[in-house]
Each structure stands twice: as C-alpha cells, then as structure tokens.
Amino acid sequence: MGRPGHSGAMDVLSRPLADRTLFALAEGYAWLPNRMRESRDHVVRTRLLGRPAVAVRGPGAVRFFYDEGHVRRHDALPEPVVGTLFGHGAVHTLDGAWHRARKELFLPLLDTDHVTGLVDEVTAAWDEAVRDWRERSRTAPVVLFDEASVVLTRGVCRWAGIPLAAGEAEPLARDLVAMVDGFATAGPRHWRARRARGRQEERFARLVREVRSGEVEAAGDRVLGRVSRHRDGSGGVLEPGTAAVELLNVIRPTVAVSWFLAFTAHALELRPESRKRLRTGDAAYATAFAHEVRRFYPFAPFLGGRAVTDLTWRGEPIPAGGLVVLDVYGQNHDEELWGDPYTFRPERFIERPAGRDELIPQGGGDPWAGHRCPGENLTVGLLEALAIRLASLGYSVPAQDLTIPLRRVPTRPRSGFAVTEVRGPAGRPTAG
C-alpha cells in the first residue's frame, strides 16, 4: 500500500457530470482522494448511482454530514450494499424516531462492561487457538486472517449468548467474512455474499423464534435476548427476519475485526519497534496502536446519504435528494489533519488525542444521536488486546504476497498473512 497516485482516467474524471459509479468501483480507495486533490476546498462535485453527488471532507464536513436536518439514510444506500453488508431493514437505513428506537438496541455495546466481556471471550478463544496453531504451523502455514475470523466468531457468539454446536464456528465465520468481502463488487464475491446472508438470516430468524417460544434460553442482558425482545418504533417486537438482520449487525462487524488483525500483523512487520512496546503491555501505547491501525489501513472508503432539502456546502449547491458523500479514507489520510498521513506512527495519538470528528474509520459525530458506529469501543478494545497478544507471539513469516491492493474494496494483505513455527505464550504477557 502507499499513497494513492493520480489515475490515468483523469481526463474523463474532469468532466463533472458523467456518472462516476464505475470509476469508484474500479479505482477503489484512491478514487475520491484523487478527485479531492484536484479540487478546491475539499469539495468534489460528481455523479454517483445516477444522482448528483457532492463529496466532502474534514471535521466541519463531518458535522454537516451528521446533521439530521441535512442528510438522511433512507433510500441512500444502493441495494447491492444493503443486500450483502447490512441487510434489509437494518438500523443503518433508518432515520429520525425509528432510527433512535432501533439504535437503543446497540448503544449498551459502548459501555465498558460490554467491552470487557467481549474482550474476555475473544482472548480466551484466541488462547485456545494458539495452542492449535503451534501444532499445525510446524507442517503448514497458518493464515492469520482466516484464523482470526474463527476466533472472533467463537468469542462473539459466546458473549452474545448465541449457541454454536461443534463444527459450526468455521462455516459461520466464512459466511460472515463473505458478507463483508462482497459488498463493493459485481463479481462472484458479490453473489457469494448474498448467498451467505440468505443462509444466515434464515438461521438467525429461526433462533429468534426459538427464543420467543422458550425453546432456547436467552438471558435479557445478552445480545440474543435483547434483540429477540426489543420493541421497535411501532411498539411491537421486530419481525424475526429484521431481528436476524440486527443480530448479524453485531456479530458480522465483530468478525470484521479480522481485517484489522491482518493489518496489525502487517504493521508489526512494518514497524518492528511497535512489537517491542506492545510486548511490555503498555496500555496507552496499545490504544494508540489500535487507533493508528484504524486510521492508516483502508476499510470503509466513504459513506453516503441523501440531502433532506436543498443544501449548500462551501458554496457548492446540493439539490434535495442529491447524494452527500463523506470521504472517510481521504479524511483519515488528510495532510492537514495528520501531517504525515502515510507514515504508520501510533505515537501521534499519544502526542495529541484525535478529536471526535477527525478520526472517522467508523463514522463521525455522536453514536448516541446519529449513525456513528456503536461498536467503536468494542473494536478498539479487541484490537488493543489482540495486538498485545500477536506482538508477544513468536512466529516466522514465510515468503508471500503481503501487498494491500488499493483497488480492491475491502482490501487486505493478499496472502491473508501466513505464519509458520508459531511459538511463545498463549496468554497475555507480563513484561518485555
């Protein structure tokens, strides 16, 4: 990975009103930052999904984008994204009172006791897995991305109260990964994602019915119990299919932390000195490292909503119904905000904590009031714990393709990060 360069398609891109959807898909993470570089004042006028669109960036733009009076989500997301990544009827697609009622389901996830509970389950699953990797990696490489997805699936299901029979974790992990992997492509990955979602929505809807009929026990303080009994804006319980969508909206993104785990392994190779600091168990450094992984490595390229009314941003008119696009990847690599954005440097977050609307890999604004990710604390907690564990593990890195293609969304090290000869502690280290 490196700094996205200007593309060969520039002459076409300079015509403002031709639809850019295909360019966005083909150019991946570099598409919007490249356009921003050619723009004045971090505003790009373009056309996406057949609609006029204005792309914005910066903390002020985040506040503009997250103002409910400016931007709504209903009808904003393209069906191929909803049908794979989020699910139909998901919280991501709601506005106003309906959004607030549904969001209540997710807000407790921001609390420290939930973060600790999930981190405990996932690290227990990690420690069990390490024992197995030590054996297997003597004869064949172990791919960290794949392994992390199974560890996270086991941990999140135990924490959420979702029963998993022996042998079920691996196929569920594969389906959850497929749903994320296939949302931004039109090829076979996309159809794999749709099939995976169909299978798992059916399974989780059945589980919700079993909880409601008393066949399956689900404590009220666990995610399974809460989602099954949650009352919506209308006062009724969720349709089983919608409850399944929202259960998946907890376990799917938790398993998506596998992408960040593969990036963590990449960062430890890139900056061996960070491995040493993580091994000491330095909590402040682990937090800074988690933030830098989320800032530096590409995940969500941009976010979009529709203008509620005729708007103007920095002199650029946005007609009611037009798309407003927030340049997430570009903002996380903006020189004005970060100085040296293409250097992986966790210390930046120790020198200066990032403002709420500066670091936005999981959205901006206030998670209680708007659409910002309610899983941000969970993600940071998981990354802190797993980065310390990975840094204290001994392993060899065989020759492999570790490039991170910026044209692929979502991207990751091509090999998934394979390791051999795993050795060292399974538990949390105490010192150097």
DSSP bridge partners of 418: 143
Using CB under 6 A as the binding rule, whether residue 85 contacts ligand HEM is answered as no
Using CB under 6 A as the binding rule, whether residue 299 contacts ligand HEM is answered as yes
Classify residue 218 by its DSSP letter. Answer: -
Q: Which residue lies nearer to ligand HEM by CB, 122 or 422? A: 122
Among 250, 267, 288, 386, binds ligand HEM (CB under 6 A): 250
Three-class DSSP category at 109: helix
Using CB under 6 A as the binding rule, whether residue 56 contacts ligand HEM is answered as no
Collect contacts of 100-108 with beta carbons under 8 A, ≥24 apart. Answer: 101/231, 101/232, 101/233, 102/230, 102/232, 102/233, 102/246, 103/368, 103/374, 104/230, 105/226, 105/227, 105/230, 105/246, 106/246, 106/249, 106/250, 106/374, 106/375, 107/367, 107/368, 107/374, 108/226
Distance of alpha carbon 78 from alpha carbon 307, whole angstroms: 15
Using CB under 6 A as the binding rule, whether residue 374 contacts ligand HEM is answered as yes
Distance of alpha carbon 345 from alpha carbon 283, whole angstroms: 16
Among 257, 388, 393, 402, binds ligand HEM (CB under 6 A): 257
Q: How far apart are the first and last CA of the chain?
A: 30
Using CB under 6 A as the binding rule, whether residue 117 contacts ligand HEM is answered as no
The residue with tokens 């802190």 is: 384
For the bound state, the minimum distance from the C-beta of residue 140 to ligand HEM, rounded and expressed in Å, comes to 27
Q: Which residue lies nearer to ligand HEM by CB, 84 or 137? A: 84
Q: Segment 59-78, which members bind ligand HEM (CB under 6 A)?
A: none
For the bound state, the minimum distance from the C-beta of residue 374 to ligand HEM, rounded and expressed in Å, comes to 5
Three-class DSSP category at 237: strand
Q: Which stretch binds ligand HEM (CB under 6 A): 32-40, 265-273, 361-369, 423-431?
A: 361-369
Using CB under 6 A as the binding rule, whether residue 109 contacts ligand HEM is answered as yes
Residue 74 main-chain phi, psi, to 5 deg: -55, 130
Among 34, 84, 137, 254, binds ligand HEM (CB under 6 A): 254
Q: Which stretch binds ligand HEM (CB under 6 A): 199-207, 212-220, 268-276, 370-378?
A: 370-378
Q: Which residue lies nearer to ligand HEM by CB, 92 or 345? A: 92
In terms of Cα–Cα distance, which of 391, 386, 396 is closest to 419? 396
Amino acid at 6: H
Among 23, 31, 183, 260, binds ligand HEM (CB under 6 A): 260
For the bound state, the minimum distance from the C-beta of residue 257 to ligand HEM, rounded and expressed in Å, comes to 5
The answer on whether 373 is annotated among ligand-binding residues is yes
Q: Which stretch binds ligand HEM (CB under 6 A): 1-9, 50-58, 205-213, 359-367?
A: 359-367
DSSP bridge partners of 142: 419
For the chain, give me the number of helices (H) and strands (E)? 19, 10
CA 264-361-66 angle, 5° bins? 170
For the bound state, the minimum distance from the C-beta of residue 191 to ligand HEM, rounded and expressed in Å, comes to 23
Q: How many residues form the binding site for ligand HEM (CB under 6 A)? A: 25
Closest CB to ligand HEM: residue number: 375
CA 125-131-133 angle, 5° bins? 95
Q: Which stretch binds ligand HEM (CB under 6 A): 201-209, 256-264, 268-276, 390-398?
A: 256-264
Using CB under 6 A as the binding rule, whether residue 363 contacts ligand HEM is answered as yes
Give the list of residues 6+ apart from residue 321 with CB closer than 8 angstroms, or none: 51, 306, 307
Q: Say how many residues make up the chain.
A: 432
Site track 204-243 with ligand HEM (rule: CB under 6 A), x = hit: ----------------------------------------
Q: Which residue lies nearer to ligand HEM by CB, 169 or 257? A: 257
Q: Which stretch binds ligand HEM (CB under 6 A): 23-31, 37-45, 208-216, 296-304?
A: 296-304
Using CB under 6 A as the binding rule, whether residue 302 contacts ligand HEM is answered as no
Q: Give me the half-sphere count of Cα atoms (radius 13 Å) on the Cβ side of residue 199.
A: 14
Distance of alpha carbon 57 from alpha carbon 216, whole angstroms: 47
Using CB under 6 A as the binding rule, whether residue 379 contacts ligand HEM is answered as yes
Using CB under 6 A as the binding rule, whether residue 303 contacts ligand HEM is answered as yes
Among 59, 301, 375, 413, binds ligand HEM (CB under 6 A): 375
Classify residue 363 by its DSSP letter. Answer: B
Q: Which stretch binds ligand HEM (CB under 6 A): 4-12, 278-286, 298-306, 311-319?
A: 298-306
Residues near ligand HEM, by CB under 6 A: 91-92, 103, 106, 109, 249-250, 253-254, 256-257, 260, 299-300, 303, 361-363, 371-375, 378-379
